[in-house]
Structure 1
């Protein structure tokens, strides 16, 4: 009997989308009123289900609305997205999503996610140009020789640096660029592709889970909770250090076992396929010439400029994509590639990541279905009512799991913060703990589920490496369980000290 293959990422997401469409027929429709700030007129705009109201932007207005956020958080631009207003949830006429809505959802998702999709495609083009120059082959061969006998350093450095990007400025979607570059390096070091995937994805996930100064999660969530973002910083920093160490040790343990016996690899059956896909550059005969060194420097600078722009200049996807496009053109000029060859190679490189781009769009389509079906706020409303009458320890751990569950429906950290924090953070007052505990539970809950969340980035990442979701779950679930226990203990201790 022929063994059935696990469904592809696209199929998994379409199944989830169908289930979400079905939920819109079962879950009551409802919505909170939202509040946004109009800087031009210095007014607050309340968006209700039936009408829009404009009010003077004062602290008194916020107090009257039971929004416990300082006015300056809005006027300074710290909160730039509409926030949900507490105690305004209303049931609305059901908007069940039918077959036609289900069919249209991936297309709507692709349109909504166009910014990240173009980033993925341009990165694919850049990778294609880099492969044509031979700079990757020469650089990887040199690195493999330089690290001979000390390959474990690669795991420590890559995981730590990416986690550092995650905890400081939310390095997540940007890591998609790293897989085609780093997988050949790990293969040359005699590891499997899972080690490369883990070092990048786990590094990013643990960093964003235990964000310390990340403006897209901890800062915006603290602002929406009415706190200074430094409140609770010590707990997050300690958790980040321990969490990153746990991840690095877990990857090192697996990597050592695979290097000693390749058949122990979770993806051993795909060994030849993956090595053929990413090339075996260990014995590359291409010399690392001055021109190739310059190309590698330009390529590396693309990431340096991107990181600086996102963290210091408030860049987002358009600016990041532009950096990689300019980098590809500069590399084409330095390598003296003919214009027609450059275009053909760039387009082919982009097409190699088209499947990844489609996964991003289909995943966004699931969010579109929930928003159009008006069930996202209903989930939030019932979740906020679940914690009534709980003691401190039970409350904070319930919040951890509530946020983990909600992140399936709202995978965006900044979106989750502004939509939920004005509703959830006041619940901490009722059980006698600081609101920073809810901010931490939001981060940790979203972060834990991000390791396996099919509506997040994992399926897009797996598609690049050609690894099935089932193989990933087999690899990562023991780590997830370790982190769940660690996080629950730490959160419980934090509300009692």
Structure 2
């Protein structure tokens, strides 16, 4: 088949490389719509949960609430006739009443009402939970004739009409608390943005970059693989993720000044940390938690994982250098060349006087180094997290501003400090908004709690069942694929472990591979895909710093994800072949 020429000329071909990338906000909204439609197609389900104890990475005893894989049930209405008889029985069993902490008067009042209208909310009000009824009666107390869906309305709030998907931005932003996503992480991003607004105003980072370039002429290319290895080590040892956001604020202008682009800067910081996390032998937030839940000795298999870390880190750094050198030789080939103009123009506009690396600049950079060391020490040794990290970065920005006032850097004043902080917050506010939006995706699917009816729990259960009875390598490989796909929605490493390992660990026994391989499939999937998924608050934070839309980032990262997936598949195959224990 051939196409006819018009006026003797071949039809013009469309250049798909110039198609406009959708805005990150638009991409997330589209994902929200898709997830909302899924809730109409897939009925909701839940698991019962229990608390397990395991030995943590420090040798102490830790606890974790995990689901019980054999307790999954779909969302049903109550079999009210059966429930009426069950409540009569329960009301006469004093031991059960005390164990379940049932309110006798409330129960008696409920039993006086029309049982045909009872719902689980009525039982909850008297102290009888769904899990307690299921543990005693199984599915008998449900009307199993119809599986129910849990679908959000179009508009609504928790107080008026229930959560509506069009409210995903606000609901996502206010999810969590000061120590987690999204509230805590949004606040951390804003504080870091303000602090670095002050630091950038001092000119210390720009002056330091020019001083480094002058003194290391010809050695610039060594900096990229070296930093990649260092950030990978951070991910492998203490689960570095959110901590990459402030580092990116330093690395982006630095890497661009070396002749590369902001994609290289994000890869050498955040992606490197997630590579380390994916192949970690000791991360307390991923491999240690997963091993504890799976019943595998914590930090066992370290020799295999340490070898894997060396191989994967060096291979990933080499992959990056191929791209980085192509950009360095012809910067205009970069897909973010236009966006990086912000950083290039700022460097070009720096005067010779501002490029001078004086004592004030040196003191600010030394103070920044001291605070960053303090943060790493606090995270690894004292368990510092979002509130403590935010406090330390605020101190770093404030002290840098004071030093700038003393040494009269860039005409810094008290009002100038305040304006610079405000400008830094404004620059990063859009990123904080994306963090809340991404969290809204999970809310539309019903949340990530195993003991709450949701579409996500049903997806987890169905895929787990589908992997039973297949060949060992195929089973292990599909576990890896499943964990990778699951990470597109749930990006918390410990949260993903709590949701998936209670199912994947016994499934490994059925498939014929060790539970250690099930843990390996989890950590590879959870780590690598964190560098790609738009739901990752940390990734979106780093991209915001670099002024890269997620769609633009995805065009580059999808190739690296294919490379990661190939390496992950190879190591899964090796682990199965050697019966990794």
Per the TM superposition, whether the score is higher than 0.5 is: yes
| Counterpart contact for 2:54–2:62, Cα < 8 Å | no
Q: 2:547: which partner in 1?
A: 466
Q: 1:99 to 1:432 in 2, by over 3 A?
A: same
Once the two structures are superposed, what CA deviation does each residue of 1:255-297 show, in whole Å capped at 9, x if it has no partner?
Answer: 2222222233233344534523676669664322222211111
Q: 2:153: which partner in 1?
A: 98
| Counterpart contact for 2:46–2:454, Cα < 8 Å | yes
| Counterpart contact for 1:232–1:437, Cα < 8 Å | no
Alignment pair present for 1:351 and 2:420: no
CA distance in 2, matches of 1:164, 1:414: 19
CA distance in 2, matches of 1:19, 1:325: 39
Q: Secondary structure at the match of 1:125?
A: helix
| Counterpart contact for 1:444–1:487, Cα < 8 Å | yes
CA distance in 1, matches of 2:230, 2:336: 25
CA distance in 2, matches of 1:396, 1:226: 18
Q: 1:22: which partner in 2?
A: 37
Residue 217 of structure 1, aligned match among 262, 282, 286: 286
Q: CA deviation at 1:438?
A: 0.5
Please show how residues 38-49 of structure 1 align to structure 2 within 5 Å: none
Q: 2:22: which partner in 1?
A: 7
Number of aligned residue pairs: give it.
Answer: 464
Q: 1:377: which partner in 2?
A: 457
Q: 1:368: which partner in 2?
A: 443
Please show how residues 31-430 of structure 1 align to structure 2 within 5 Å: 31-36=46-51, 79-92=62-75, 93-100=148-155, 101-112=164-175, 113-276=182-345, 285-336=354-405, 337-372=412-447, 374-430=454-510
> Which piece of structure 1 moves more, 413-422 or 269-278?
269-278
| Counterpart contact for 2:253–2:343, Cα < 8 Å | no
Q: Secondary structure at the match of 1:296?
A: helix
CA distance in 2, matches of 1:378, 1:332: 52
Q: Secondary structure at the match of 1:173?
A: coil
Which structure's CA Rg is the greater one? 2
Q: 1:46: which partner in 2?
A: none
CA distance in 2, matches of 1:181, 1:306: 16
TM-score of the pair, normalised by structure 2:
0.75
| Counterpart contact for 1:379–1:406, Cα < 8 Å | no
| Counterpart contact for 2:56–2:289, Cα < 8 Å | no
Alignment pair present for 1:435 and 2:515: yes
Q: Return the structure number with greater relative CO, CA threshold 8 A, min gap 6.
A: 1
Q: Which runs of 5+ in 1 are unaligned?
A: 37-68
Q: 1:39: which partner in 2?
A: none
Q: 1:61: which partner in 2?
A: none
Q: CA RMSD in A?
A: 2.3
Q: CA deviation at 1:230?
A: 2.1
Residue 535 of structure 2, aligned match among 455, 469, 480: 455
CA distance in 1, matches of 2:279, 2:493: 12
Q: Secondary structure at the match of 1:229?
A: coil
Q: Secondary structure at the match of 2:71?
A: coil
TM-score of the pair, normalised by structure 1:
0.88
Q: 1:222 to 1:72 in 2, by over 3 A?
A: closer
CA distance in 1, matches of 2:435, 2:346: 22
Q: 1:270 to 1:286 in 2, by over 3 A?
A: closer
CA distance in 2, matches of 1:443, 1:370: 23
Q: CA deviation at 1:340?
A: 2.9
Q: Secondary structure at the match of 1:227?
A: coil
Q: CA deviation at 1:237?
A: 1.4
Q: 1:97 to 1:404 in 2, by over 3 A?
A: same
CA distance in 2, matches of 1:430, 1:473: 36
CA distance in 1, matches of 2:287, 2:350: 41
Once the two structures are superposed, what CA deviation does each residue of 1:128-158 show, in whole Å capped at 9, x if it has no partner?
Answer: 1111212112111101112211111210121
Q: Which runs of 5+ in 2 are unaligned?
A: 1-13, 76-147, 156-163, 176-181, 406-411, 448-452
CA distance in 1, matches of 2:418, 2:60: 41
| Counterpart contact for 1:135–1:296, Cα < 8 Å | yes
Q: 1:393 to 1:149 in 2, by over 3 A?
A: same
Q: Secondary structure at the match of 2:488?
A: helix
Q: CA deviation at 1:11?
A: 1.6
CA distance in 1, matches of 2:267, 2:149: 42
Q: Secondary structure at the match of 1:35?
A: strand
CA distance in 2, matches of 1:339, 1:483: 48
Q: 1:388 to 1:434 in 2, by over 3 A?
A: same
Q: Secondary structure at the match of 1:467?
A: coil
Q: 1:289 to 1:153 in 2, by over 3 A?
A: same
